[in-house]
Structure 1
Amino acid sequence: MDLTVNKLVHINQVVDDFEGAAAFYTDVFGAREYWRGYDEDQRRNASLFVIGDLCIELFAPVDADSLLGASLARFGNSWHSFEWQVPDLEQAHAALDERGVRVTTYRPGEFLMVHPGDCHGMLLELCPLEMVGDPRIEPDWSAEPWRTGHPLGVTGLHHLSVAVRDLPAATAWLTGLVAGAEIVHSGPRDEVDADATGVRVADHVVELVSPRSAEGPVAGYIQRFGQRLRSIEIGVLDLDRAREHLEGKGLRITDGSRAGAFAIIEDDNWGVRWEFAQTPAG
């Protein structure tokens, strides 16, 4: 049984300052928050917001004893996971069981989360529901304000990138798990001493990137964090204009993971790597 994925719902980030991170995303990216709340079982505050068609969820654990609190204590402010919408959560659970993937959190009819150690570092959250208040499901939704009305000129998510140790094995696992998944690009990432393969899953691309040696930044990331989500790449209309906007906010810029891309230094961006390019990898 394959896993059917409808779409990417959101990408999850763990932070130690809920209000500070939310204010940062509003100021720098023009984020529009549409929900926030507290989960007693997971002992964390959360916020959902959109930047164009991309949705980010902030997790802010209130103590170190929860799974999210342990993640924050170990990794600091960092990427955590990404969520796929699936048509049937129980069938999705069965597809994972067939492959020996451990499910660490399961609320029947609501969502589940997997153990990343069974998924080449991909910490997946699966949910059959639409997010309450998500403006992207409204009939009059448009991402145009972020494209033409904001100095970043956001055109959309190019890909999310997961650092893996074994590129062929991770690629085979992902394409073997998700129904209809297809490889859309594959090749060197000389800028980070790595190789990459992009796999289209429903409406987005998951790029798997693996180091060629023990010396490059991808290798260093895996040594520090293990296999996990490393970065996202956002499309923009004009790289120079986007860079000027970000530097005007006091953010330091560095080279991206491929030619024609740049990134915000993680320490200036709540611990996570956002990269920007005008055209998708291909």
Structure 2
Amino acid sequence: MRKQAKKTGDFGIGMMIHAVHMTDDVTKLNQFYEDVFGGLVYMGVDEPNFLPPEDRWAGLIMISDLCIETMAPNTPVDATKPVGKFYTKFGQHLHSVGYLVDDLVGLGNRMIDKGVYMGRPGGGKIEEMDPDTQYFYPSPRDTAGLMVELCKVHMQNDPRELGTWSSQRKFWETSHPLGIKRMLYVTLGVKDLESAVKTYVDVMQAMPIAEGVDDGGQYKFATLHLGDCLLQLAEPLGPHSPLGRHVAQWGNMIYSITFRVNDLDSAQQWLNGKGIRTSRPRPGLLAADPQDTFNAPYLFTTDVLEGDPFEE
């Protein structure tokens, strides 16, 4: 059975098509995800895909129900193009997320009406939605820091949209040493949690499901249901935690990805065996050292969130 997306809002924000991980070598990063996470590359299997309008190379790789787009700018890097500009400023870093939207024109017009700057593919501003527009990027300045691609085009050969998906996803939970049950949430570091939550509820019709304080991570948070995934907005309690240092350096920006797993000891043993250092910020949470994961903070937990709409 194919994955059934849980959509939100009036315009049908649905499947998270991918989370983008920026790098300088797509092939090398793909090999990392294959080796450590049991990732399945389904675009750019033999060589990375090149997209001229964005002047970038990329691959698509499944890890449980999360698709990672590995991306690198073409060389020499053109810092006038969005991909080259991001890489020039941030280097290797989690870049963005993307959502499939049923009514892209309707959502785009709503965001324009809310005063959101809309970026077109390859750069430039969208003043008015064109029915032929395939995807666009709201400015992170207007989304509390999250770079997000909103699109109406399904990813070709997406394993989640095939009839074999319900069988295939079992591999990561039952056969792979990490024991990944699902992607739990993407975390966005923010300077002002209350303002960020208001932005997502007002502009993108996200639905709050939980809030609290994470003592291990040293931040207060709000967890929102946005499309077919959860987004955690997190404000550091101080400047010296990993998230605190990230927000102090970069401001509001995507920070980490957390997986729900069967067993932390098994996950830790596997990661350490692959040369990835780990720590336990608190009981129930395992953190991989970003220096060993191409500067992408990955966390693993056995926590079950109260009110989680995706918990079966």
Report if TM-score (shorter chain) is over 0.5: yes
The DSSP-based 3-state class of the residue aligned with 1:132 is coil
Mapped partners of 1:109, 1:138: distance in 2:
26
Mind listing any 5+ residue stretches in structure 2 that lack a counterpart?
A: 1-8, 123-131, 307-312
**What pairs with 1:152-191 in structure 2 (closer than 5 Å)?**
152-179=178-205, 181-191=206-216
Separation of aligned partners in 2, 1:131 and 1:51:
15
Once residues 121 and 109 of structure 2 are traced to their aligned partners in structure 1, the CA distance between those partners, rounded to angstroms, is 12
* Aligned-partner Cα distance in 1 for 2:190–2:121: 25
Equivalent in 258, 271, 278 of residue 253 of structure 1: 278
Does residue 13 of the first structure (1) align with residue 37 of the second (2)?
Answer: no
Identity among equivalent positions (%) equals 28
- For 1:214, the equivalent position in structure 2 comes to 239
1:110 & 1:10 partners in 2: Cα distance? 16
Stretches of structure 1 that go unaligned for 5 or more consecutive residues are none
Cα distance in structure 2, aligned partners of 1:191 and 1:112 = 36
Question: What is the correspondence of 1:1-282 to structure 2 with a 5 Å cutoff?
Answer: 3-36=11-44, 37-62=49-74, 63-65=77-79, 66-106=81-121, 108-142=132-166, 143-179=169-205, 181-256=206-281, 259-282=283-306
Post-superposition shift, 1:169? 0.9
For 1:170, give the aligned amino acid.
A
CA distance in structure 2 between the aligned counterparts of 1:16 and 1:226, rounded to whole angstroms? 23
CA distance in 2, matches of 1:218, 1:29: 23
Encode CA deviations 1:125-166: one digit per residue, 9 max, x unaligned. Answer: 001121001111011213001111111111001111000111
Structure 1 contact 32–51 (Cα < 8 Å) conserved: yes
Change (3 A) 1:54 1:128: same
User: How far apart are 1:2 and its partner, in Å?
Assistant: 5.5
> When the two structures are superposed, what TM-score results if normalisation uses the length of structure 1?
0.94
Q: Secondary structure at the match of 1:41?
A: helix
1:46 CA drift (Å): 0.7
Q: Contact 1:76–1:271 (CA<8 Å) still a contact in 2?
A: no
2: CA distance between counterparts of 1:209 and 1:147? Answer: 27
Residues in 1 aligned to 2:301 and 2:239: alpha-carbon distance in whole angstroms: 27
Q: CA deviation at 1:184?
A: 1.5
Q: Contact 2:11–2:103 at 8 Å: present in 1 too?
A: no
TM-score by length of 2: 0.85
Shift of 1:278: 1.3
Contact 1:2 1:177 in 2 (8 A): no
* AA at the equivalent of 1:228: M
The aligned amino acid for 1:165 is: K
For these two proteins, the number of residue pairs brought into alignment is 280
Post-superposition offset of 1:64 = 3.8
Structure-1 separation of matches of 2:243 and 2:164 = 41
In the TM superposition, what is the alpha-carbon distance from 1:106 to its structure 2 partner?
4.0
